[in-house]
């Protein structure tokens, strides 16, 4: 379990002296005796690679050297007959590199012993176990000496910011796993493109694609597959996948496989009958142009904000060209008219989680990308059929200022104010070209930042119009 060992060594260098308390996921019941498929908590996986539920890890760090203590499910022949093999304490030591391993039943008692004399404790405040056990154990292990007092003198720190910073930069072995997840996902998308036809149902395309993922060794989907035919492409997180595919429409698929806990995240939008209409082609080409620009910008000179701004500019130019907005490029950007058609971010980090850990900022400033970061680049244009006529407010809107005001006033108060401003603003009525209504296009790839040119991990899945038409027909 080299990857987690390396990660413990990396985090030990940051923390230097202290103890980390981290908790694995539990089984979640779905209905009666059936449970949801178990997946380990990503942070827990990152530091232990332990694949079973109900585990706890205590990592004691002294002079930047980590020592792993694992609390795991006991071996139990009867239980294992029902629920599957357990690794047990011996396995935790021999395979997973624990210095010592204990029964998870002993967690609270042993924790009190392990934390004696520790002054800096790094915990996961979001975990129930932190509230139920860790806090009490700390009061007993490192008590503040006061009559009637029931609190600890240990300093508590949140582990998440430290873990997020580490997880943001992918190690070579992680990039290999991500590449594998991407390769599997690409095959699934290709299978879907070949399979989709008018008359087939969205879920049938999903089944064909997911069959390929699993056939090639994926353990899970990275997230619920979005297989959105026609107008459904304009619903960003469409996931019901129940409708019939229609002649002459597009199919947007946003789906990917998870391999050894790492997830890909790919979107393609292709013609159901194998040939883009001129209108579909026009919209698709514009999104592709913006995406290529975004991909090119994934380098150490730029922040994600730079990339988003450039993408917005490119998409806004396209909206003007496609006659989707009432004014020119300046107003389209400054009045956020583009937001009617491109209402999400340009990308997000990718890794163990499909929306992976890590901040776009460092010291409250947008941070430049670094080698080892992996982001998606996924612009889109969605022309909602429910909005054949749009009243565009004539109001200057700066996303940065909106963000700052939301921080200052709180979301509730700030959005009320925004809505009021929008209501009071003058508007201009604009008719959307009818032939474009219902077209939704997103193209998404997974990009690794390096010291040099960006590497597109999903390059092998065609984006070019002709190549896609060849595969689909």
The nearest distance, CB 303 to Mn ion, in angstroms, is 18
Nearer to Mn ion, 245 or 255 (CB): 255
The nearest distance, CB 264 to Mn ion, in angstroms, is 10
The nearest distance, CB 186 to Mn ion, in angstroms, is 15
Nearer to Mn ion, 24 or 222 (CB): 222
Written in H, E and C, the secondary structure of the chain is CHHHHHHHHHHHHHHCCEEEEEECCCCCEEECCEECCCCCCHHHHHHHCCCCCCCEEEEEEECCEEEEEEEECCCCHHHHHHHCCCCHHHHHHHCCCCCEEEEHHHHHHHHHHHCCCCCEEEECCCCHHHHHHHHHHHHHHCECCCCCCCCECCEEEECHHHHHHHHHCCCHHHHHHHHHHHHHHHHHHHHHHHHCCCCCEHHHHHHHHHHHHHHCCCCEECCCCEEEEHHHHHCCCCCCCCCECCCCCEEEEEECEEECCEECCEEEEEECCCCCCHHHHHHHHHHHHHHHHHHHCCCCCCEHHHHHHHHHHHHHHHHHHCCCCCCCHHHHHHCCHHHHCCCCCCCCECCCCCCCCCCCEECCEECECCCCCEEEECCEEECCCCCCEEEEECCCCCHHHHHHHHHHHCHHHHHHHHHHHHHHCCEEEEECCHHHCCCEEECEEEEECCCCCCEECCCCCCCCHHHHHHHHC
Nearer to Mn ion, 265 or 286 (CB): 265
Nearer to Mn ion, 187 or 265 (CB): 265
Nearer to Mn ion, 89 or 376 (CB): 376
The nearest distance, CB 254 to Mn ion, in angstroms, is 7
The nearest distance, CB 256 to Mn ion, in angstroms, is 9
Closest residue to Mn ion, Cβ-based? 265
Nearer to Mn ion, 92 or 290 (CB): 290
The nearest distance, CB 169 to Mn ion, in angstroms, is 20
Identify the CA nearest to 338 among candidates 281, 388, 383, 377.
383
Q: Do 229 and 244 contact (CB within 8 A), yes or no?
A: yes
The nearest distance, CB 378 to Mn ion, in angstroms, is 5
The nearest distance, CB 252 to Mn ion, in angstroms, is 12
Nearer to Mn ion, 202 or 445 (CB): 445
Residue 462: both structure tokens together: 């065609």
Q: Residues in the site for Mn ion, rule: CB under 5 A?
A: 265, 376
The nearest distance, CB 379 to Mn ion, in angstroms, is 11
Nearer to Mn ion, 91 or 379 (CB): 379
Nearer to Mn ion, 110 or 265 (CB): 265
The nearest distance, CB 444 to Mn ion, in angstroms, is 5
Nearer to Mn ion, 152 or 267 (CB): 267
Identify the CA nearest to 281 among candidates 473, 472, 464.
464
């Amino acid at each position: 379990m080299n990857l987690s060992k390396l990660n413990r060594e990396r985090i030990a260098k940051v923390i230097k002296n202290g103890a980390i308390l981290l908790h694995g996921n539990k089984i979640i019941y779905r209905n009666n005796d059936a449970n949801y498929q178990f997946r380990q908590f990503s942070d827990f996986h990152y530091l232990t690679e332990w694949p079973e539920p109900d585990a706890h890890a205590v990592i004691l760090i002294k002079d930047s050297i980590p020592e792993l203590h694992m609390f795991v499910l006991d071996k139990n022949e009867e239980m294992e007959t029902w629920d599957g093999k357990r690794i047990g304490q011996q396995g935790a030591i021999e395979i997973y590199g624990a210095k010592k391993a204990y029964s998870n039943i002993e967690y609270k008692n042993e924790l009190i012993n392990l934390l004696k004399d520790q002054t800096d404790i790094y915990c996961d405040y979001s975990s129930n176990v932190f509230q139920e056990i860790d806090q009490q154990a700390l009061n007993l292990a490192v008590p503040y000496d006061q009559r009637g007092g029931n609190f600890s003198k240990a300093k508590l720190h949140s582990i998440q910011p430290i873990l997020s910073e580490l997880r943001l930069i992918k190690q070579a072995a992680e990039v290999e796993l991500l590449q594998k997840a991407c390769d599997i996902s690409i095959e699934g998308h290709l299978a879907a493109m070949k399979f989709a036809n008018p008359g087939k149902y969205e879920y049938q395309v999903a089944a064909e694609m997911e069959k390929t993922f699993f056939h090639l060794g994926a353990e899970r989907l990275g997230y619920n597959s979005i297989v959105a035919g026609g107008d459904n492409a304009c619903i960003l997180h469409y996931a019901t996948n129940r409708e019939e595919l229609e002649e002459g429409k597009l199919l947007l698929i946003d789906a990917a496989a998870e391999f050894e806990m790492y997830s890909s995240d790919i979107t393609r939008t292709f013609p159901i009958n194998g040939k883009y209409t001129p209108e579909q082609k026009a919209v698709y080409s514009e999104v592709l142009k913006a995406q290529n620009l975004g991909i090119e910008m994934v380098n150490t000179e730029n922040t994600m904000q730079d990339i988003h701004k450039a993408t917005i500019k490119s998409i806004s130019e396209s909206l003007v060209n496609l006659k989707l907005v009432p004014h020119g490029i300046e107003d389209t950007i400054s009045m956020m008219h583009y937001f009617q058609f491109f209402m999400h971010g340009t990308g997000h980090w990718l890794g163990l989680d499909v929306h992976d850990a890590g901040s776009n900022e460092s010291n409250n400033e947008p941070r430049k990308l670094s080698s080892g970061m992996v982001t998606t680049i996924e612009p889109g244009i969605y022309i909602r059929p429910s909005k054949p006529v749009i009243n565009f407010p004539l109001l200057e809107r700066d996303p940065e200022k909106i963000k700052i005001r939301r921080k200052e006033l709180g979301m509730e108060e700030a959005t009320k104010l925004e809505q009021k401003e929008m209501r009071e603003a003058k508007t201009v009525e604009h008719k959307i070209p009818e032939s474009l209504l219902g077209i939704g296009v997103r193209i998404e790839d997974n990009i690794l930042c390096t010291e040099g040119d960006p590497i597109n991990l999903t390059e092998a899945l065609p984006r070019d119009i002709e190549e896609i038409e060849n595969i689909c027909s």
